[in-house]
Structure 1
Amino acid sequence: MTVRWIRAALAGVAALALGLTGCGDGGSAATDRGGQVTVFAAASLTESFTKLGRDFEATHPGTTVTFNFAGSSALAIQITQGAPADVFAAASPATMKTVTEAGDAAGDPVTLVRNQLVIAVPKGNPHRVAGLADLARPGTKVALCAAQVPCGAAAGTALGAAGVRLTPVTLEQDVKGALAKVKLGEVDAALVYRTDVRTAGDELDAVEFPESARAVNDYPIVVLKRAGNPDGARAFVDYVRSDAGRAVLTAAGFQAPQGQ
């Protein structure tokens, strides 16, 4: 038995001991992952959660929040296929259900906020869009989210309530994609969330329509079962649901959950 072999064996034992110590405390997330919290969140939460992530890091020294923003349906599939994540914030209960039914949630999701559709149009509304019926006018180019995406499902509900049938020129995989088409002048209008038009500042206008009340989306959030940092995940969820977190979300145009 060589000295080198003995040193290697002792190093292995030490590493195992450290690993067991990390597991034994039931929540040494800061030790295990350097305080990293990985959040998968709906694309429409990009601006709000980015700010909340910075605020959370400031109030939790040593913690780093990493985001994956995309369409909720795509994120849900990634999670069920084993993508490493601590928290999931979806733009609809239906997409959250994909995760909960797969057994990937650590508990019951809670509704964080609500969001409502508007028609995004170029500044000044040059095509004089006043409601959903105007989107079906000949020659009008419209962007929608794909049907499996929460903003697409909501758009389908609203259009159905209005009795409007239209053929979009593009179906986007998340709401940011639909919004970008209007910004770039590739379409005349898009059905997106009120919060997304607000993030566009002076670039776009929002046209409200009554049928949007029939397609309000609840945004559930949950800590994930395979979270590498469960303590950090719970702390982040608590923070975004706190008064400070709600203030950021409300300022962005999100609505409080029903009954709150």
Structure 2
Amino acid sequence: MNRFPRWFGKTTLFAALSLGTVALHAQEVVVSAAASLTNAFQAVGQAFEKTRPGAKVTFNFAASGPLLAQIQQGAPVDVFASADQETMDRAAKANLLAEGTRADFARNTLVLIVPATAATVPQKLADLGGTGFKRISTGTPSSVPVGRYTMASVQEAGLTAALEPKWIYGESVRQVLNYVARNEVDAGFVYRTDALIEKDKTRIALTVPTTTPVSYPIAQIAASKNVALGKEFVAFVRSDTGQQILEGFGFSKP
């Protein structure tokens, strides 16, 4: 005679499935990262998964501003890596970051690139005011860090008014890179690491001095569903192995 209720089997099965779902979730870390980190972080993620059998890193790459907006709207994110301090400051001000987890992990350089087939290559920023440069691209300053770095440098050079009618804004630094690679604009401001990705279709004209360093902070999100794995991923990014991978893609240490 069966001494257990009829529903026992189904309940046990349901509980097992639920626990299985939780276990699977515990093995996945969701990382929202700046578009300029795409190639490097994909390599970092693969290396991390090899050291953590069963773990899965799911990436969401976009401009830092839109990524922050997604987190503010409740997107399930465990770790956030932005391309500037300003965006991470906004995240901290909104109490979105897990206390004590924010840290800088990489630096980059702002450069001016032109199509590989360009007949005219600027030797200095002031050259962009000439007639040979009618369409110049950078990221939308309000949401894309590379746009803010660009505008600060342009203002410092006294070129704000001269370049104002020439701007073609991109939704991310990668879109700016694509504009230049496809010869759709005469020049564009991107990070050196991005320029290296399309070195057959673009060429670096000059390195652009920035008023503030191009530094990348990373932090765990306060509402993270997987705190332990998120902490491990951040630690891996900052480890010697993680830093070597980043350096391989042109980033420098913080």
TM-score norm. by structure 2 comes to 0.88
Residue 84 (structure 1) aligned to one of 57, 68, 76: 76
Q: Residue 147 of structure 1 corresponds to which residue in structure 2?
A: 141
Identity, % of aligned pairs? 35
Is the contact made by 2:115 and 2:182 (CA closer than 8 Å) also made in structure 1?
Answer: no
Q: Residue 112 of structure 2 corresponds to which residue in structure 1?
A: 119
Q: Residue 170 of structure 1 corresponds to which residue in structure 2?
A: 168
1:208 aligned counterpart, secondary structure: strand
Matches within 5 A, 1:247-258: 247-257=244-254
Distance 2:95 2:12 in 1: 34
2:226 is equivalent to residue 234 of structure 1: no
2:151 is equivalent to residue 156 of structure 1: yes
State the one-letter code of the partner of 1:99.
Answer: A
Distance 1:10 1:104 in 2: 42
Report the CA distance shift for 1:13/1:198 in structure 2 as closer, same or farther (over 3 A): same
Matches within 5 A, 1:42-61: 42-61=34-53
1:40 aligned counterpart, secondary structure: strand
State the one-letter code of the partner of 1:201.
Answer: K
Is the contact made by 1:32 and 1:229 (CA closer than 8 Å) also made in structure 2?
Answer: no
Report the CA distance shift for 1:14/1:105 in structure 2 as closer, same or farther (over 3 A): farther
Instruction: Report the RMSD for the aligned CA atoms in angstroms.
Output: 2.4
Q: Residue 122 of structure 2 corresponds to which residue in structure 1?
A: 129
Q: Residue 244 of structure 1 corresponds to which residue in structure 2?
A: 241
Matches within 5 A, 1:198-213: 198-209=196-207, 211-213=208-210
Report the CA distance shift for 1:30/1:133 in structure 2 as closer, same or farther (over 3 A): farther
2:91 is equivalent to residue 105 of structure 1: no
Gapped regions of structure 2 (runs ≥ 5):
none
1:201 aligned counterpart, secondary structure: coil
Stretch of structure 1 that moved more, 192-201 or 98-107: 98-107
Distance 1:95 1:218 in 2: 11
Deviations 1:143-194 (A, max 9, x none): 1111121100000111111111203341111100111000111001101111
TM-score norm. by structure 1 comes to 0.86
Gapped regions of structure 1 (runs ≥ 5):
1-5, 23-27
Distance 2:21 2:106 in 1: 27
Report the CA distance shift for 1:8/1:162 in structure 2 as closer, same or farther (over 3 A): farther
Deviations 1:122-155 (A, max 9, x none): 1254212112112221251211111121100000
Aligned length: 245
